[in-house]
Chains A and B, each alone.
Chain A
């Protein structure tokens, strides 16, 4: 086994990197893969909270790098989904506590034991980003349909390209189809026109994301919602399956509530 190492990044903060990491990791684990989600945001750790594993964190990956503990001791196993692990970040350290070489060595150490290593990258283009990206082969760039987020994503894509990461694929998060239809939000094609990279999924705006985040349970584990379905689809596309994009326009015309209702009544759309 040699894991695919994927960095989840964006440039801009608050676009949903950590949520995407948690949900995609859980979805990949649901599909039977052995996955570790690494919180590379040293000093501002959140992934453990979103995954609902906060109370079980003892060691972190800085401890592993500094050889204060073994890797196996720092890994937190998610008991809800077989094959899902978390490697938490240190909250009391800064991003200077790790360098790119150490990150590469850590990923190499984990590669034989996993199918996927997802690195949750901090916002920004400085050391934290460079550390996280150094260990990865592939990248998922998360953006929201807002001009500042798209511009920052463009910057990050340029940096990832110069670092030789491939493939670099795009997740458009928090899209509101009704706003796109009204011309108040950037459309998928507008974003792709600027960023010129492969789209791996569009996640619609969904209040269930907030609920799931606060409950510490990735949506893809249990909750049936448009965003959960979108993340499941993204995970399938990462696995190389041909999954068509969700028909988000139907959500716009019928409204989100009716769409969610349709999900709960079993009329799921992909």
Chain B
């Protein structure tokens, strides 16, 4: 979705210096014109005032050089005159030219866009229906097909999906969220590296302890009305909140009533 976000940048647009901007989940993507020489490109970028590069916290800019073959000199000058001078947070250096990509990598610059975080995309105004499938694939999710037995441990930076039960004695530590399709009886730690915008889903909640970010909550059959029920656990204003899955529960009960129960 291309939108006129930075008015000051827009004012600089001329036919010969056509520069497009795109609103991204991580901030702004700037498409740098290929038809300008390296010096003209540098001049153009330097002319943009520092305030135009300012973005909300944790957001940044990606520079897309398209097919341009960048020289070392251009990169050096961009870092000196733009990144350091104007305090610009460039989070990705993108190019369709393999030589340029190689040069970026040699300089230790990131050549990939940050993976999509749906929550931040929503908050930044990007509508969910505009999320491209290839960007969704970039989010790291580990899928465990089958139940995790006692002693089995999964530790990952992304999300974890268990297509089975998490038995007592099994453990998951995820940087992202955790989805247990079956019974949750083991130990889960979502947001294990500090993230709070994560969740734990359990098909049947049967664990005495859940950890989200740096919060620890205890539960048992007596104190938790959602015990042995389908739940979603989130952290809201620093407090773990357990929500029962009432609509699914009703569907299951209806289905059981129609089929005469789950047992054969």
Residues of A in contact with B (beta carbons under 8 Å apart): 125, 147, 150-152, 154-155, 157-159, 161, 194, 196
Partner-A contacts on B (CB < 8 A): 147, 149-152, 165, 167-169, 185
Q: Which one of B149, B167, B168, B185 has the greatest number of beta carbons of chain A within 10 Å?
A: B149
> Considering the chains assembled together, what is the distance between the CA atoms of A150 and B169 in angstroms?
10
List residues of chain B with CB within 8 A of the CB of A147: 168
Which residue on B lies nearest to A196, using beta carbons? B147
B151 A158 Cβ-Cβ under 8 A: yes
Beyond the given A154-B168, A155-B150, A158-B150, please list 14 additional residue pairs across the A-B interface where CB-CB is below 8 A. Answer: A151-B167, A151-B169, A152-B150, A154-B149, A154-B151, A154-B167, A155-B151, A155-B169, A158-B149, A158-B152, A159-B151, A194-B167, A194-B168, A194-B185
Question: A194 — which chain B residues lie within 8 A by C-beta?
Answer: 165, 167-168, 185
Q: Would you give the shortest CB distance from B245 to chain A, in whole angstroms? A: 20
Chain A residues, CB < 8 A from B168: 147, 150-151, 154, 194
8 sampled A-B residue pairs with Cβ under 8 A: A147-B168, A151-B168, A154-B168, A154-B169, A155-B149, A155-B169, A158-B150, A159-B151
Contacts of B169 in A (CB 8 A): 151, 154-155
**Contact partners of B152 in chain A: CB under 8 A:** 158
- B interface secondary structure, majority: loop
Q: Which residues in B have their C-beta under 8 angstroms from that of A154?
A: 149-151, 167-169
Give bound CA distance, A236 to B165, whole Å. Answer: 32
- Bound together, the chains give a CA A151 to CA B152 distance in angstroms of 12
* Set of chain B residues within 8 Å of A161, measured between Cβ atoms: 149
| Nearest-Cβ distance from residue A171 to partner chain B, whole angstroms | 18
Whole-angstrom distance between the alpha carbons of A150 and B168 in the complex? Answer: 9
Q: Which residues of B contact A125 (CB under 8 A)?
A: 151
Given the complex of chains A and B, what is the CA–CA distance between A159 and B147 in angstroms? 13
Which B residues touch A157, using CB under 8 A?
149
- Shortest distance from the beta carbon of B242 to any chain A beta carbon, whole Å: 23
Which partner residue on chain A sits nearest B146 by CB separation? A196
Q: How far is the CA of A96 from the CA of B120 in the complex (A)?
A: 56
**Chain A residue at minimal CB-CB distance from B169:** A151
Chain A hits for B167, CB < 8 A: 151, 154, 194
Inter-chain contacts of B149 with A (CB < 8 A): 154-155, 157-158, 161
Contacts of A159 in B (CB 8 A): 151
Q: Which residue of A is nearest B185, CB measured?
A: A194
- Enumerate chain B residues within 8 angstroms of A151, measured Cβ to Cβ: 150, 167-169
Bound Cα distance from A52 to B165, whole angstroms? 43
- How far does the Cβ of A216 sit from chain B's closest Cβ, in whole Å? 35
Docked pose: A147 CA to B168 CA in angstroms: 9
Q: Which residues of the other chain, A, contact B165 by a CB distance below 8 angstroms?
A: 194, 196
Q: How far is the CB of B221 from chain A (nearest CB, A)?
A: 13
